[in-house]
Structure 1
Amino acid sequence: MPTGNRSDIDRLAKLLDTQFKLPGTNFRFGLDGIIGLIPGIGDTVSGGLGLYIIHRARQEGASGGLIARMIWNLLVDTLLGAIPLVGDLFDFAHKANAKNARLLQEYLDRHASEHAKPVGRGTA
């Protein structure tokens, strides 16, 4: 059942992927990269947080194909992020949560326009 309020998804995606800016650059990062630095559990914790976005996408009525794509984005982020050193750099660059939030917004925008009632048509 669509809730119509996605602000929680957007806030979480921003917090996890783009909340902070490296001074003097345009490079943005979030808690996903920072939490991912914790050996052993960091990527599991950040992956778990990212699952909330996918859960909310299901609540918003996202298609199975979109959910699968979002799971893939998060899985790649979580598994590759778990590789020592290289994975930590990957965590800062690959922004799965922001991608998933954007994919959901695009999906909802497409479906809203498909289901919009034409203006001026209807019964009087």
Structure 2
Amino acid sequence: MSHEPAVAGRVARARRLAELLDSSIRVPGLGIRVGLDPVLGLVPVVGDLLTAALSLFIVVEAYRLGADRATLARMLAHVAVDATAGSVPVVGDLFDATWKANVRNADLLERAVAPE
């Protein structure tokens, strides 16, 4: 019995979360997409903590699916940079809108579990 459909479903769920956090909202007139990460980041402390916790879900999923240590370290670094820079008022939210750590991590997750 193959576990590939279950793995694919878990990766797809992580991808959907990444897109929700990083690119789910089109900014009218600017032609860019942002997600809930920079929007929630406008709420001091609580917003940044919430989005960091949601970002860690993707890393935990990668761990559960057997991603190697180097991949997990890169993913954690992305979350750390996002959370640290994102905590700076206004400038951090602009950084969050462009850094897109969650989409980067979803890409890493997909590569880590892709069949060889």
Could you tell me the TM-score, scaled by structure 1's length? 0.83
Aligned length: 111
d(CA) in 2 for partners of 1:20 and 1:88? 14
Superposed, which structure 2 residues align to 1:1-124 within 5 Å? 3-4=6-7, 5=9, 6-109=11-114, 112-113=115-116
Larger helix share, 1 or 2: 2
* Bigger RCO of structures 1 and 2 (CA < 8 A, at least 6 apart): 2
Runs of at least 5 residues in structure 2 that lack an aligned partner in the other structure: none
Let me know the Cα RMSD of the aligned residues: 1.5
The 10-residue stretch of structure 1 (45-54 or 88-97) with the greater mean CA deviation from structure 2 = 88-97
Deviation (angstroms), 1:94: 1.1
Runs of at least 5 residues in structure 1 that lack an aligned partner in the other structure: 114-124
d(CA) in 1 for partners of 2:85 and 2:47? 12
d(CA) in 2 for partners of 1:58 and 1:106? 13
Runs of 4+ in 1 over 4 A off after TM superposition: none
d(CA) in 1 for partners of 2:28 and 2:107? 25
d(CA) in 2 for partners of 1:65 and 1:54? 12
